[in-house]
Structure 1
Amino acid sequence: MTTTVRTARITGSGDSPARLRWTPPGPVHLGQTLRVLGRGADDPTVRILNEDCVWITTRSSGLPVSARFSRPPRVAGENPLDRDVVVDAWGPGAQQWLPSAPRWVGHGDSWEEFESSAGFAQLPHRLVRARHDHPGMRLPATGTVLDRAVVSILEQRVTAIEAVRAYRALLRWIGEEAPGPAPRGMRVPPTAEQWRRVPSWQWHRAGVDPARSATVMRTVQRASALERLGREPDPARVRAAVQSISGIGVWTAAEITQCTHADPDGVSVRDFHLADYVCWFFDGAPGSDERMLELLEPWRGHRQRVVRLIKASGHRKPAFGPRLTPQDHRHH
């Protein structure tokens, strides 16, 4: 997914990094916006060093890219969220990828329609306050549908600990080292062909059961179509299209477009925690997916924004009983 950014300058040649300096049209919080892309502190493709310095890896036309999002030093009296965004990129695909970098931190994601709507006025005060306190929170649009699909498939029906462990292991074995001075341990997401070459024993060694590995394999067979979907402007159409792949359902589709298309409405139905989380906020009691959707209905079109505001508000649901025990599929 690319975009034309008039308030940006791209420089760099030879061994120096390619650089884009972008002036956002409103506040942008780098850490808060990009954190949704990562899975833990040691994610091989996303590394948040601090709220104003985030590294990512990706590909452009199959070519490796590593990039650092940062801000220039703060000037006295300046709003820190209004500063320029500086993106330095390394690797064969750096120059080609840079014009799309602003979309990763919310260029094209506007909260104005939502904030001026009657629905916004109906939000609980705590959520209105959360938006006031987090004006730089935006929804990212990476356009990398295949990469996000693989991550989301690995998270199906298992704990976050299991999914993160599997993804890190697989990228450590088959992912290329990130170009440039990226933090140690960062890897570039594999190409479709690299995923196709992963043998069954290696999936097993990573703790990925046959159902999930088979879904990944079916997905990478559609890599060209998924690349085209990355340029599709309507996230609802993308959600519908990816569900044509056997093994990808409503939950996985929403998890994809929330990151690839700044999807303002995609809700992760059938999530292990989300329904209870949302229902506890509104009802003060646990609930079902059906109840969650009923509660979010007044904000249809912006339901993912409401979910993000609930999280930004600091809400926590009560914890009862033991955590779900991770299952080690390598011994079955």
Structure 2
Amino acid sequence: MAGRFAPGSVGTAVRGVLPRPVRAAARVRTWVPEGALELRLVLGPLRRGPVDPTFRAAPDGAMWRVSRTPGGPGTLRVSLVDGAVRGEAWGPGAEWLLERLPELAGAADDPSAFAPRHRLLALTRHRRPGLRLTRTGLVMESLIPSILEQKVTTDEAYRAWRALVRKFGDPAPGPAGPTGVPGGMPRGMYVMPAARTWALIPSWEWHQAGVDDKRASTILRAVRVAARLEEAAGMPPRQAQARLERVPGVGPWTSAETVQRSHGAADAVTVGDLHLPGIVGYALAGDRHADDAAMLELLEPYAGQRHRAARLILLSGQVPARRAPRMPRGDIGRL
């Protein structure tokens, strides 16, 4: 998606009421997109649960995001101001985050490449024109929580991510202040642990967080080659998926969930999901019992844009009523 930079959009600013004698200054950048943009739709997939310590949606509509970048930890506040995307960043990774602000907001995405062939998708795209696919340029921050989500409920995975990041991560850099300060950074935000820190987490801490040995071992294998996996951010999505899948325990489901976020991969449809085939099958063919093969056949007309098609289906609300009980929640922390 094309856009332009606002004049004088890079600089420094001091925000809000000072809760301390000196408050951290933010680096600021604005970017003006062409066309509609709905920030919550674009950045929403980066949020791992309602109390994700690395991502918060503020009451004022701003999105707060904490990342471990090649330049170091950084905190980014993203908001829409008069049609412009405004980014304010703190910490050693601030410059890296601001440099990639447009891509984070969907600048590298091309929604016009999608040609809906089903009325449902055409209507949903018309109703939600602000959908763009984000591109973070960071692999590990999406890979690790995706591994945690393997074969468990989302609540279990979110709880594990929250517990591990809070215990072993670092406090987020930024304008921490009293609760309730307008525009202030939400309390309890953390940078995810560095690769070496993940590698040193004892087995009992994984169990305490509700993570079984299989998922913990997969994460440990991934962080040992973290540098090589981060290099995949510069590869085409399919090549990136192939590199990720060389790590034992990382399959097509996990690699797709990762590159959807790290690359903004419009065609990286998630296979191996418990619910998605039935949702796609029901929306496009009235088949709530569709499997992966049937889902891929239904999405074949959208080759190159299959992930976007799936996103639009999920946004349409056209999902089958639940008939089976939810997946039972485990608690390996009691073992």
The alignment's TM-score, normalised by the length of structure 1, stands at 0.90
The Cα offsets for residues 147-197 of structure 1, whole Å up to 9 and x where unpaired, read as: 111010000011111100101000110011111132111111211111111
- 2:55 aligned residue: 46
Once the 2 structures are TM-superposed, how far is the Cα of residue 236 of structure 1 from its aligned partner? Answer: 1.2
1:312 to 303, 310, 315: 315
More off after superposition, 87-96 vs 49-58: 49-58
- 1:188 aligned residue: 191
- Contact 2:75–2:89, Cα closer than 8 Å, also in 1: yes
Within the alignment, does 1:282 sit opposite 2:284 as a pair? yes
Helix, strand or coil: the match of 1:179?
A: coil
- Contact 1:207–1:328, Cα closer than 8 Å, also in 2: yes
The one-letter amino acid paired with 1:48 is A
Distance 1:128 1:289 in 2: 23
Q: 1:152 to 1:253 in 2, by over 3 A?
A: same
- Contact 1:45–1:187, Cα closer than 8 Å, also in 2: yes
Give matches, 1:169-318, under 5 Å: 169-181=163-175, 182-232=185-235, 234-285=236-287, 286-318=289-321
Q: 1:60 to 1:245 in 2, by over 3 A?
A: same
Within the alignment, does 1:140 sit opposite 2:134 as a pair? yes
Distance 2:274 2:333 in 1: 23
Percent identity reads 39
- 2:31 aligned residue: 22
- 2:328 aligned residue: 325
Helix, strand or coil: the match of 2:265?
A: coil
- Contact 1:62–1:191, Cα closer than 8 Å, also in 2: no
The Cα offsets for residues 89-131 of structure 1, whole Å up to 9 and x where unpaired, read as: 111221232111221111110112224xxxx3xx211210111
- Contact 2:58–2:186, Cα closer than 8 Å, also in 1: no
2:147 to 140, 153, 157: 153
The one-letter amino acid paired with 1:107 is A
- 2:5 aligned residue: 7
Q: 1:51 to 1:314 in 2, by over 3 A?
A: farther
Q: 1:87 to 1:240 in 2, by over 3 A?
A: same
- 1:108 aligned residue: 108
Distance 1:146 1:48 in 2: 22
Q: 1:225 to 1:39 in 2, by over 3 A?
A: same
Within the alignment, does 1:70 sit opposite 2:64 as a pair? no
- Contact 1:103–1:141, Cα closer than 8 Å, also in 2: yes
The one-letter amino acid paired with 2:87 is V
- 1:78 aligned residue: none
Aligned residue-pair number = 313
- Contact 1:46–1:54, Cα closer than 8 Å, also in 2: yes
Q: 1:30 to 1:18 in 2, by over 3 A?
A: same
Distance 1:240 1:51 in 2: 40
The one-letter amino acid paired with 1:277 is I
The one-letter amino acid paired with 2:32 is T
- Contact 1:24–1:84, Cα closer than 8 Å, also in 2: yes
Q: RMSD of aligned C-alpha atoms?
A: 1.7
Distance 2:281 2:317 in 1: 15
Once the 2 structures are TM-superposed, how far is the Cα of residue 323 of structure 1 from its aligned partner? Answer: 1.2
For structure 1, which runs of at least 5 residues remain unmatched after alignment? 75-82
For structure 2, which runs of at least 5 residues remain unmatched after alignment? 15-23, 176-184
Distance 2:316 2:3 in 1: 31
Q: 1:226 to 1:237 in 2, by over 3 A?
A: same
Helix, strand or coil: the match of 1:107?
A: coil
- Contact 2:4–2:32, Cα closer than 8 Å, also in 1: no
- 2:119 aligned residue: 125
Distance 1:48 1:132 in 2: 25
- 2:18 aligned residue: none
The Cα offsets for residues 55-80 of structure 1, whole Å up to 9 and x where unpaired, read as: 101022251111110122x4xxxxxx
The one-letter amino acid paired with 1:298 is P
Once the 2 structures are TM-superposed, how far is the Cα of residue 26 of structure 1 from its aligned partner? Answer: 2.6
Distance 1:209 1:292 in 2: 30
The Cα offsets for residues 22-43 of structure 1, whole Å up to 9 and x where unpaired, read as: 1113321111110111122111
The alignment's TM-score, normalised by the length of structure 2, stands at 0.89
The one-letter amino acid paired with 1:96 is W
